[in-house]
Chains A and B, each alone.
Chain A
Amino acid sequence: MSIDSPPVDAHGHGDAHHDSPEKVDGRERLGVWLFIGADVVTVAALLFTYLYLRAVNTSGHWMSMWGYKGSLHTYAYWYNAAANGTLKAPTLIHVGTVSAGLQWLVAAITVVSAGLLWVGEKGLRSNKNAKSFSATALVAAILSVVGIIFAAVLLKDLPQIFVSVNDSNTMSYTTYDSAMMALLSSTIFHLAILAFLGLGLSIRAARGVISGDRWYQVRLVRFFWVWVAVSSVVATLITTTITSTH
């Protein structure tokens, strides 16, 4: 009686894949829905962070902070000025809203890529042309990368405020920009996953693993892709309409 090596089934079934593709797909569909569920909660927590911080608005500093406009000089300059005691008195810096246009651009790119994939999936199921689907998936993946680039630009442009208090010197962000940073990071992470998935679908279709008869995985990816697009729209709606507190 040992746990060293259990006897192997005589029929050589080493995996669960002697189940029919439909059965496996049913399982995987539920798995994807559950994963989307966890992601819904995650995005909700991020949006909760944004809305809650705005509602509490501690000391009225949702979009403002005492300090020095970080973009005027390099960090080294500020740091040295603080060390030498040559800093002037800090001012109350008000930050502007993150570009709504660019935010919507990122959301739009995500939506378009999702639509593209969906159309591609429909096409694959009807005309069985795996090669053309492969191209479609590749375009969708590239669009995701484009989305990442724009989101990264937004991230990079979040205004920094140099704060020097009690010998603690740092480039800081207002609460609003903090929440935007978290949301933009999440966007980039999700888009990166989409790019990976799109590329995978493209390669698999080109190699014939995905075909007009075996398209189940495309639908699984599409579920997730559409969710990311929906979450992108919902989040952008919130962050472009509910901004300043006055």
Chain B
Amino acid sequence: MDTSANKSLRTFYWSWAILTAVGVGLSLWLPHRYMPEAMSNDAHLTMTTLILFSISAAPVAAGVYAGALHILRHHRYTGDGVPPPAPQIRENTKILVSWITASAILTVFVLVWGLGALAAENNSSSSNPLIVNVTGQQWVWTFAYPGTHVVSNELYLPENREVEFRVTSVDVTHGFWLVNMGVQVDANPGVITTIHTTPDRLGVFEVRCEQFCGLNHAFMDAIGYVVSPQKFSSWLASQPARA
């Protein structure tokens, strides 16, 4: 057995392990450090999914990087002129099968998790969601609460109650995005699109337009507040009726 080859393979495996650890570390740290505060069940799921996918991807990325580094360290031709021929390896069935199997398993895992999360999102319909009609127009969001006369440019939501947004536009396509709730849907003219989520934390949140809609697209924001159910009722009652 060629010990230098074994030695170099050992450094390959070590590099793989270390890079994987770095990747896992980044996966655990970056989302928490950079993502907006999660204020709904969907947002928590999004954060978890992002971390999980990153951790799953870490050994794959690390393996390729460790392989590239190994090649750069041990298989680089350092002489003058043309390098001599290398071992004419055309196939390695074991590696091929392992690779495809591993990537298939990873794909299935990601798929199963994703489809499960999708189903969980879609099936969380309670029997009595709060309905909010959202209208996008260049360049402002308007929120109406059916059953009341309330029309507002600020989005008030009660905590822990599922809310169903019915979204439309009066001009071009906009993107209704609840930044802290992990959900978004386009606002299209002539149709109503729907999303729902359940806010589970009190506080201020952001609504942004994420579908380019013209001149002031960058400024088409709205402020939202998740408040206690009592505060929500009193807010509704205090709003002036609009024509």
Contacts and interface: CB of A to CB of B under 8 A. Distances in A.
Contacts of A59: 190
Contacts of B190: 58-59
Interface string A12-44: 000000000000000000000000000000000
A58 B189 CA distance: 10
B102 interface: no
Interface residues of A, number: 2
Nearest to A58: B190
A58 B191 CA distance: 7
A59 B191 CA distance: 8
Nearest to B190: A58
B9 to A, nearest CB: 45
A58 B169 CA distance: 14
A59 B190 CA distance: 7
Contacts of B191: 58
A7 to B, nearest CB: 27
A58 B190 CA distance: 6
Interface in B188-213: 190-191
Interface in A42-73: 58-59
B44 to A, nearest CB: 35
Contacts of A58: 190-191
Nearest to A59: B190
A89 B190 CA distance: 21
Nearest to A56: B191
A58 B192 CA distance: 11
A121 to B, nearest CB: 49
A54 to B, nearest CB: 15
A215 B61 CA distance: 59
A100 B190 CA distance: 30
Interface string A206-234: 00000000000000000000000000000
3 contacts: A58-B190, A58-B191, A59-B190
Interface of A: 58-59
Closest 3 A/B residue pairs (Cβ): A58-B190, A59-B190, A58-B191
